Amino acid sequence: MKTTMKFILLAAILIGVKYDSNAQWSITGNGGTTSTNFLGTTDAQPIRFKTQNSQHMVIDAIGRIGIGVTNPAYKLDIANASIVRTLNLNNTTSTTSTSYGGYSTSNNAGTGDAVGFLGFGKGTGGVNYGLYGTASDGTTNYGVYGKITTSTTTPVGIGTYGFSTGAGTTNYGMLANAGGAATTNYGIYATATGGTTNWAGYFVQNTYVGGSMGIGSSVLTDTKFAVQQTGTTTATGRFSNTSKGPNISWIHFGTTGDWYIRSASNTGKVIMQDQNSSATVCIGGTTAATGYKLSVKGKIICEELKVLLSATWPDYVFGKNYNLMPLSDLENFIEEENHLPGIPSAKEMEADGGIALGEMQTILVKKIEEANLYILQLNKRIEELESKLK
Residue 153 has pLDDT above 50, yes or no: yes
- Read off the pTM: 0.41
Residue 385 has pLDDT above 70, yes or no: yes
Confidence of residue 141 (pLDDT cuts 50, 70, 90): very low
Do the domain assignments include residue 195? no
For residue 29, what are the contacts with CB-CB under 8 A and spacing of at least 6? none
- Is the dihedral angle over the CA atoms 159, 165, 168, 174 positive or is it negative? positive
Q: Report whether 254 contacts 260 (CB < 8 A).
A: yes
Domain that holds residue 235: 211-270
Q: What is the pLDDT of residue 197?
A: 93
Based on the domain organization, do 332 and 356 belong to the same domain?
Answer: yes
Residues 296-327 have pLDDT tens digits of: 999 999 999 888 887 789 999 999 999 999 99
Residue 128 has pLDDT above 60, yes or no: no
* Range with lowest mean pLDDT among 203-207, 264-268, 363-367: 264-268
Do the domain assignments include residue 281? yes
Do the domain assignments include residue 253? yes
Based on the domain organization, do 358 and 321 belong to the same domain?
Answer: yes
Do the domain assignments include residue 132? yes
Instruction: Establish how many alpha carbons lie within 13 A of residue 278's alpha carbon, considering only the half-sphere containing its beta carbon.
Output: 3
Share of the chain above pLDDT 70, in %: 61
Based on the domain organization, do 381 and 326 belong to the same domain?
Answer: yes
Distance between CA 164 and CA 354 in Å, rounded? 65
Based on the domain organization, do 320 and 367 belong to the same domain?
Answer: yes
Based on the domain organization, do 318 and 385 belong to the same domain?
Answer: yes
Q: What is the pLDDT of residue 83?
A: 61
Confidence of residue 16 (pLDDT cuts 50, 70, 90): very low
Distance between CA 19 and CA 126 in Å, rounded? 60
DSSP-assigned beta bridge partners for residue 49: 57
Residue 384 has pLDDT above 80, yes or no: yes
Do the domain assignments include residue 89? no
Q: What is the pLDDT of residue 286?
A: 85
* Range with lowest mean pLDDT among 148-152, 199-203, 251-255, 322-326: 148-152
Mean pLDDT of the chain: 75
Q: What is the pLDDT of residue 125?
A: 45
Residue 11 has pLDDT above 60, yes or no: no
Do the domain assignments include residue 106? no
Based on the domain organization, do 128 and 164 belong to the same domain?
Answer: yes
User: Average of pLDDT values for 260-267?
Assistant: 68
Element (H, E) at 156: strand 156-158
Based on the domain organization, do 324 and 382 belong to the same domain?
Answer: yes
Do the domain assignments include residue 11? no
Based on the domain organization, do 255 and 295 belong to the same domain?
Answer: no
Based on the domain organization, do 381 and 324 belong to the same domain?
Answer: yes
Q: What is the pLDDT of residue 138?
A: 45
Do the domain assignments include residue 2? no
Tally the domains of the chain.
5
Confidence of residue 222 (pLDDT cuts 50, 70, 90): confident
Residues 346-383 have pLDDT tens digits of: 999 888 888 888 889 999 999 999 999 999 999 999 99
Distance between CA 125 and CA 343 in Å, rounded? 86
Based on the domain organization, do 348 and 379 belong to the same domain?
Answer: yes
**Between 213 and 309, whose confidence is greater?**
213
Residues 48-74 have pLDDT tens digits of: 999 999 898 999 999 999 998 999 999
